Chains A and B, each alone.
Chain A
């Protein structure tokens, strides 16, 4: 059996970073005990981002701009905040990435360790020969009550990993899991928020007992001395718990990996993979890395970097993402983005957003995949595709071939910042975006800062929530333009 491991890995952290101080100070009258947590920032997804869109963004960064993504045999999508309880969320991701319909798509959920569980499943898929290349995606955007500790502890992010049987930067030595019905917190169906038990109990009876046992068994089974572990990854919102566990297991506490709490917060199921991304972006060859997660038991994955790690580089590394965040001091914006306050949406916000599912399916490639058409006779590119080509003076019939636009270069033809129409994040920026090779779309802009938009400016495409049909609980997706 050939070696199986990670061939690429990348993280995505939303642009905005909510200043914790602004949260803590706003709630100090209510929760003065949380003032001590008012340090640093937490990542804050846009209103139009969720675990599906963040997964798509991470996957695009992983797969690159090439049209041909046929090497992806399977997708494992992990999240505790899937937008749909019954609609294949990984199927939305597959369509957005224009992967083949034959790609095996699996949603993995219901526990914070589902990110590492997805990773273990992908490894098993490639080890078994079922897949040659498996895509692991994990993302979370968890809601928390106003004035809660979670509000300050959590962050929004995603990560993507390619599990491959070639070009490996970190090979898999072993994996292990335990299932323990230890309920440190839970979230019932249709509940927005977690219900949490006492932290000291979670720490002492949960982390400090379940994880060391898991690690000791894994290392023993593989005859590995704990001192060989050069990087120990364990997301945990309780300070110093990973260091205590490392001491219990005989791992050098100096090798405990920073959990990005100061700038990002805990991104739930995605967090071990996000931390792993950060580690691999800075790793040397032949380093043993232990990735653990906690939730309904625990997962452990033992990796060892290969020589190829020295050539591994992400254009948008975790360090770059940390540096390029935009500080958000407006706590009310965070509350509004996450629908945590009853805010005035105005009568324009009342428009019926019912989605015709027949229409969505008929145009699935266009709406979810941003696939347009290219006239085989004139070469004219257009969006959406149509039976009769838009080519001036050459209305050719049935000459359109699918043409992917999501990764193509584009710029702004015209725009406005609209203060009249409904928007969760006014002003409502939209305009016409022209693709350099042809084709244009009147579309929404997102992640726009003041003064960042002008005719002629380059944009990139991002897959985002188009609208949420609150009456029916349906999330509508489409692509938007971000000025670059």
Chain B
């Protein structure tokens, strides 16, 4: 196996815009908001940037195609800007590009910035789009909640969980994230909700109600990365380094072959194993301090707890109900509110997850600050359960 990325790259600075319905803010200005904070945090000037990666998923209602939107909005010094798109995992993909460039020595300092401007759609939820010319001729004209909701039916069938127990467990996932989001001034949704509210919310896609679905938000997030040596030379201490960056992509097995049972994410298990190996983690349930996972829907978070090998298979419902992932539990999950409440501007989300882990590791998370975290995991997933892109990243104190 390759030697991996562990401790070869440090985070020099990060920024994240306020997420939400940013009616008065353009796609360009969302980028500027995250960029200024990241530059300031890194303590560098724009001309110190060698290369940039820009993650942006839906270009027709956002900033457009290519690398130019980022370069123009930020008036970058004519450096390379590579636009990446990998469904909802695009933000992690941008980070991977910047980190690998630094590790390879191709850049001393690189920036990854993700942005999505979703609230120019005209309606709630994600915009309906076509995927190629063949897919729409056979695939359902469905929605993200309809695709992810199917996890619940398959998980229930496999593990013998009643519809009521499943509904209550995923409700707890959302109640927990709302409680966390209420402490985050940058979060899209900052109100706590009760289990009763979640259970009685309007149905979106069975069994997912309104509160089982994440916020659809405008926002941007950015990370500036460099080598630990350069970071130190710039006067930084308390360095946070990248321990693992892994990506696994479906090859059609789940959607075309009957071996997959529909109740879990095949790619997450692969990416998680590789990430733990890269980071040198052997007992994730004991070694991981905190997590930001891709809770696009409450049921996604629930099954992901097993796919990341934190909960035993078939035990996620119990762990969730026991509060294992609550803010005061052994492994707090979505301490910033998650996609559920911080919001989900697609291209920015992977970087937003890293942002919270970075703040927590540096002890800068204010009311949300956890006690002495050392290892943070982010899980960023794009596509749908049967056909997806999964990123698992691990960062920690150097």
With A359-B133, A434-B258 as known contacts, state yes or no: A442 contacts B141, CB within 8 Å: no
Whole-angstrom distance between the Cβ of A360 and the nearest chain B Cβ: 7
List of B residues within 8 angstroms of A416 by Cβ: 142, 145-147, 149-150, 152-153, 205-206, 208
With A390-B253, A416-B146, A430-B146 as known contacts, state yes or no: A441 contacts B205, CB within 8 Å: no
Whole-angstrom distance between the Cβ of A400 and the nearest chain B Cβ: 12
Q: Does A391 contact B (CB under 8 A)?
A: yes
Q: Does B235 contact A (CB under 8 A)?
A: no
With A418-B143, A418-B146, A442-B140 as known contacts, state yes or no: A391 contacts B257, CB within 8 Å: yes
A420 and B141 contacting across the interface, CB-CB below 8 Å:
no
Q: Does A129 contact B (CB under 8 A)?
A: no
Cα distance A352–B121 when bound, in Å? Answer: 15
A interface, by DSSP: helix, strand, loop or mixed?
A: mixed
B258 and A438 contacting across the interface, CB-CB below 8 Å:
yes
A442 and B386 contacting across the interface, CB-CB below 8 Å:
yes
From 367 to 398 in chain A, residues with beta carbon under 8 angstroms from any chain B beta carbon are 367, 380, 382-384, 386, 390-392
Whole-angstrom distance between the Cβ of B126 and the nearest chain A Cβ: 9
A390 and B257 contacting across the interface, CB-CB below 8 Å:
yes
Q: Does A366 contact B (CB under 8 A)?
A: yes
The listed residue with most B CB atoms (<10 A of its CB), out of A416, A419, A456, is A416
Q: Does A339 contact B (CB under 8 A)?
A: no
With A367-B137, A442-B386 as known contacts, state yes or no: A428 contacts B142, CB within 8 Å: yes
Contacts across chains A and B counted by CB atoms under 8 Å: 149
From 132 to 167 in chain B, residues with beta carbon under 8 angstroms from any chain A beta carbon are 133-134, 136-143, 145-147, 149-154, 156-157
Q: Does B367 contact A (CB under 8 A)?
A: no
A455 and B142 contacting across the interface, CB-CB below 8 Å:
no
Whole-angstrom distance between the Cβ of B216 and the nearest chain A Cβ: 11
Whole-angstrom distance between the Cβ of A394 and the nearest chain B Cβ: 11
Whole-angstrom distance between the Cβ of A88 and the nearest chain B Cβ: 19
List of A residues within 8 angstroms of B252 by Cβ: 386, 390
B205 and A418 contacting across the interface, CB-CB below 8 Å:
yes
Whole-angstrom distance between the Cβ of A188 and the nearest chain B Cβ: 32
Q: Does B282 contact A (CB under 8 A)?
A: no
Cα distance A419–B125 when bound, in Å? Answer: 12
Q: Does B238 contact A (CB under 8 A)?
A: no
From 415 to 459 in chain A, residues with beta carbon under 8 angstroms from any chain B beta carbon are 415-423, 427-428, 430-432, 434-435, 438-444, 454-456
Cα distance A24–B128 when bound, in Å? Answer: 39
Cα distance A478–B157 when bound, in Å? Answer: 28
With A414-B153, A430-B140 as known contacts, state yes or no: A348 contacts B128, CB within 8 Å: yes
- A420 contacts which of B138, B145, B154, B258 (Cβ < 8 Å)? B145
A356 and B133 contacting across the interface, CB-CB below 8 Å:
yes
B138 and A441 contacting across the interface, CB-CB below 8 Å:
yes
List of A residues within 8 angstroms of B203 by Cβ: 417, 419, 427
Cα distance A440–B259 when bound, in Å? Answer: 10
Which residue on chain B has the smallest CB distance to residue A355? B137
From 202 to 228 in chain B, residues with beta carbon under 8 angstroms from any chain A beta carbon are 202-206, 208
B128 and A421 contacting across the interface, CB-CB below 8 Å:
yes
From 268 to 319 in chain B, residues with beta carbon under 8 angstroms from any chain A beta carbon are none
Cα distance A198–B182 when bound, in Å? Answer: 72
A residues at B contact (CB < 8 Å): 346-348, 350-353, 355-356, 358-360, 363, 366-367, 380, 382-384, 386, 390-392, 412-423, 427-428, 430-432, 434-435, 438-444, 454-456, 466-467, 476, 478
Name 13 extra pairs, CB < 8 A, besides A352-B130, A391-B257, A420-B125: A358-B133, A390-B252, A416-B152, A416-B208, A423-B141, A427-B205, A432-B255, A455-B153, A455-B157, A456-B157, A466-B138, A467-B136, A476-B137
Can you spell out 14 A-B residue pairs with CB atoms less than 8 angstroms apart? Answer: A351-B129, A351-B141, A353-B136, A359-B134, A367-B138, A412-B153, A414-B151, A416-B147, A417-B205, A418-B146, A431-B153, A432-B150, A432-B262, A442-B140
Closest 10 CB pairs of A and B: A418-B146, A430-B140, A414-B150, A416-B149, A356-B133, A455-B157, A414-B262, A421-B143, A414-B154, A359-B133
